[in-house]
């Protein structure tokens, strides 16, 4: 009965691949020999290895068609259990039974990767405890659990042998309370917690018991107030904190942290000696640009890559003597700065050019929904002095408009960047363009209505580029100009500006 049940489960999971020529149809078993195929005389572990290299849906098909592969299926190392792999698009009513049958008939031996994704399946929540007990066995290396509602993750499944083998743990929508009796997770290198209820003290205790930890990613973890990274984590190199809005401070003592992404608000940063080691930093919050110029050169003097994204930029970055001597790549995005400061001086961003003598690539997104800047048309241009002999090789400006201040900034960069190889000016916001090809018959899913005012301003920006910038670009550099999506679907569905107010 168990064998029959499992075969039914596997048959259901491969409805979409039944026309794919499968390896087992060629090498087969006794039945295939009767059909004229020969069976290579290979050891059982070789057959298991061949089976393990197949994608799960193909491996399941092979198990349905070959008794040899059905045996190795019970030791299959990668279980990706989600509606897309186990059910057809029109029938997901038996998902729970399918998952249950697969896990109960899998021996647990040889399982390395377990991915249970039940984002839209509330009915499965009561069964997850038993599924984890069946699947999380000694030797497992990666566990991913993605759920649609909060679930109490049983730390007991990580005890014994599994505690020594698990390398990656990714939990979504869980309560995770690692207690001291959990012990040391000797092999854990990657921890991802998304919408997980865990306190800062609990997380610190878990990290202290994970000496091999290298990567930590936290998203929407509301119970963490102070995030502490212990000094014993000698291999810890990457930290990502996104949308954990209650975090007030990040205190890092791990000496080799080199990459840090922070999307937050006013967190106090204390990075210890790792601040001297930091190579890549990404910061997204209000006044990120001003903060980045004023504080980061002294805090992270050896940065090589910097991303600054600001929701509201009230102050302009100051001209200071401190420098990023090693910074090569800079990206700045100011999303809604004009709401707080309609006269924001984008030319003040040259403070970064002055501070970054080794910078090679600069990405600038000046997306904004209001046009309150002086137009370049009819205005006299004053090209202010920039640092000479900039090493810039690639410059991209997204949201380029006919504003005088942006035209002046671009012209000065072109004049001073003697090594410039590429200048890309995108006259749209960069987020919803169908494609970068001017395909007038585009049918991309990214198509969306474009307001008439936006199209009008884009046309003005094109004229400004032709009149004031194009002839200043050296012959050795490539100028690329992108317009808003040209496809009829976008341009025929304009929204009246008055409807948005």
Span 42-88, pLDDT tens digits = 666 776 677 667 777 677 766 666 666 677 777 778 888 887 777 65
Which two tokens mark 471?
Answer: 């002839």
What's the sign of the alpha-carbon dihedral 240, 242, 246, 248?
A: positive
236 has pLDDT over 50: yes
174 has pLDDT over 60: yes
Average pLDDT, the chain: 80
Give the ranges where 432-472 is alpha helix by DSSP (H).
Answer: 452-464
Residue 202 phi, psi (nearest 5): -65, -40
Residue-level pLDDT at 167: 97
20 has pLDDT over 60: no
SS3 314: coil
Residue-level pLDDT at 13: 42
- Under a CB-based contact definition with an 8 Å cutoff, are residues 153 and 123 in contact? no
Residue-level pLDDT at 306: 97
DSSP codes of every residue in 115-165: EEEETT-GGGGGGHHHHHHHH--TT--EEEEEEEEEEE--GGGGSTHHHHH
153/347: higher pLDDT? 153
For 246-277, write each residue's pLDDT tens digit.
Answer: 999 999 999 999 999 999 988 999 999 999 99
With CA atoms as reference, report the closest residue to 48 among 80, 77, 8: 77
Q: What is the DSSP letter of 91?
A: B
73/385: higher pLDDT? 73
422 has pLDDT over 60: yes
What's the sign of the alpha-carbon dihedral 387, 393, 396, 402?
A: positive
Residue-level pLDDT at 385: 65
Mean pLDDT of 202-221: 97
* Burial class of residue 289 in the structure, from the number of CB atoms within 10 Å of its CB (0-12 exposed, 13-18 middle, 19+ buried): buried
434 has pLDDT over 70: no
With CA atoms as reference, report the closest residue to 344 among 322, 364, 320: 364
Residue-level pLDDT at 354: 86
In percent, the amount of the chain with pLDDT more than 70 equals: 73
Residue-level pLDDT at 43: 67
With CA atoms as reference, report the closest residue to 409 among 342, 315, 332, 294: 332
Confidence of residue 342 (pLDDT cuts 50, 70, 90): low
499 has pLDDT over 90: no
Residue-level pLDDT at 86: 73
169 has pLDDT over 50: yes
SS3 407: helix
pTM: 0.81
Residue 26 phi, psi (nearest 5): -95, -40
- Under a CB-based contact definition with an 8 Å cutoff, are residues 230 and 253 in contact? yes
């Amino acid at each position: 009965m168990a064998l029959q049940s499992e075969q039914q489960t596997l048959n259901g999971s491969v409805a979409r691949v039944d026309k794919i020529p499968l390896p087992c149809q060629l090498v087969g078993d006794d039945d295939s020999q009767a059909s004229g195929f020969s069976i290579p005389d290979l050891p059982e572990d070789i057959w298991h290895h061949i089976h393990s290299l197949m994608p799960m849906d193909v491996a399941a098909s092979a198990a349905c068609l070959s008794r040899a592969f059905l045996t190795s299926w019970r030791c299959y190392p990668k279980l990706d259990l989600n509606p897309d792999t186990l059910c057809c698009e029109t029938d997901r009513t038996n998902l729970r039974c399918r998952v249950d049958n697969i896990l109960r008939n899998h021996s647990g031996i040889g399982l390395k990767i377990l991915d249970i994704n039940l984002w839209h399946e509330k009915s499965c929540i009561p069964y997850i405890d038993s599924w984890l007990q069946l699947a999380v066995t000694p030797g497992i290396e990666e566990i991913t659990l993605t759920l649609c509602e909060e679930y109490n993750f049983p730390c007991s499944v990580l005890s014994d042998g599994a505690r020594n083998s698990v390398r990656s743990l990714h939990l979504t929508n869980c309560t995770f309370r690692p207690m001291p009796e959990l012990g040391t997770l000797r092999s854990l290198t990657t921890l991802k917690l998304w919408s997980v209820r865990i306190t800062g003290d609990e997380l610190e205790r878990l990290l202290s018991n994970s000496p091999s930890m290298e990567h930590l990613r936290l998203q929407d973890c509301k119970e963490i107030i102070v995030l502490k990274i212990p000094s014993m984590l000698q291999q810890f190199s990457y930290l990502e904190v996104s949308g954990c809005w209650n975090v007030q401070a990040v205190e890092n003592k791990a000496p080799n942290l080199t990459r840090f992404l922070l999307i937050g608000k006013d967190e106090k940063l204390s990075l210890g000696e790792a601040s001297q080691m930091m190579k890549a930093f990404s910061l997204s919050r209000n006044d990120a640009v001003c903060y980045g110029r004023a504080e980061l050169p002294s805090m992270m003097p050896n940065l090589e890559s910097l991303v600054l994204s600001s929701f509201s930029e009230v102050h302009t970055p100051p001209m200071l003597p401190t420098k990023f001597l090693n910074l090569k790549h800079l990206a700045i995005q100011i999303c809604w700065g004009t709401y707080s400061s309609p006269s924001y001086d984008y030319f003040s961003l040259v403070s970064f050019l002055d501070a970054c003598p080794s910078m090679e690539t600069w990405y600038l997104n000046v997306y904004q929904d209001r046009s309150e800047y002086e137009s370049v048309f009819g205005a006299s241009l004053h090209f202010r002095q920039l640092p000479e002999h900039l090493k810039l090789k690639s410059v991209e400006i997204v949201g380029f408009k006919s504003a005088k201040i942006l035209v002046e900034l671009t012209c000065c960069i072109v004049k001073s960047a003697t090594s410039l190889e590429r200048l890309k000016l995108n006259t749209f916001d960069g987020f919803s363009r169908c494609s970068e090809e001017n395909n007038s018959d585009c049918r991309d899913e990214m198509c969306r209505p474009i307001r008439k005012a936006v199209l009008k301003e884009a046309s003005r920006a094109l004229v400004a580029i032709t009149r004031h910038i194009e002839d200043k670009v050296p012959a050795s550099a490539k100028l690329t100009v992108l317009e808003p999506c040209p496809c009829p679907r976008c341009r025929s569905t304009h929204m009246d500006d008055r409807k948005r107010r």
